[in-house]
Amino acid sequence: MVLYWIVLPIVWVLIHILWRIEVIGLDKVPRDRPIVLAPNHISDLDPVFILGVIFDFSRYRILAKQELFRNPVIGWALGCLGAIPIDRGKGDTETIDKVIAECRGGTRVLIFPEGTRSKTGRLGKLKSGAFAVASQAGADILPCRIIYDTPDARMHLFCRMCICFGDPIPTAGAASDDPRRQVRALRTLRTRLTDDLEALYAAHRFDRPEQALPAADPDPAEKGENHADPAC
């Protein structure tokens, strides 16, 4: 924890030197209760940027795919910021249960609901993991959209970016012992978060014609999707 307090100010200084960052809606980030922060995902450094601008000495727990920890620099930085690896392909329920327990105890959590990075800036299909964690922990979901001002909508050194936060989405009543009722509740939450993330993009995207991205893919729930794969 002491190392986190040392690394966080260094991260804040570095990201503001190497990138031009605009932050919108920071006052919507709760500081006094657990939350599941749900950003879109474009760059491996997204969690570093997001936690850097929030700049909260109460440590977040980040669910990150195991592959990120193979890079010694990124893995070390993520570990200092509270990331834990998750095995996306093997139903890592032990890690999920641990994160739910920590969130119930007051720890805030960051999960990328797309489950992987977007290569185009377009919002991908949201998976169920973030919503399952939030509902079982009794925490709200906080939408966050990160937008890069680049021709390919991806992160580049010294580029401008906007990190914007939306209004918290309540999850009360979403947890249920009835599987069918829970699937319906998670689908409703997924639709709400998708709409809020797209609204943040429409309101705050940079004035680039090529950044008029198509909308997110339709909700895959009709195809029977109900898996919980929340890692970035």
64-115 pLDDT, tens digit per residue, is 888 778 888 878 877 888 888 887 666 678 888 999 999 999 999 999 999 8
Going 55 to 159 to 111 to 168, the CA torsion angle's sign is positive
180 vs 160: CA distance, rounded Å: 44
Pick from 110, 116, 111, 10: which is nearest to 60 by CA?
Answer: 110
What single-letter DSSP state applies at residue 43?
S
What pLDDT is recorded for position 198? Answer: 97
How far is Cα 153 from Cα 210, in angstroms, rounded to an integer? Answer: 8
User: What percentage of the chain has pLDDT greater than the value 90?
Assistant: 56
Which one is predicted more confidently, 90 or 8? Answer: 8
Tokens 């797209």 -> residue:
198
pTM, two decimals, is 0.85
Q: Which two tokens stand for residue 99?
A: 């994160």
| Per-residue model confidence as pLDDT tens digits over 10-24 | 999 999 999 999 999
Q: How confident is the model at residue 232 (pLDDT cuts 50, 70, 90)?
A: low
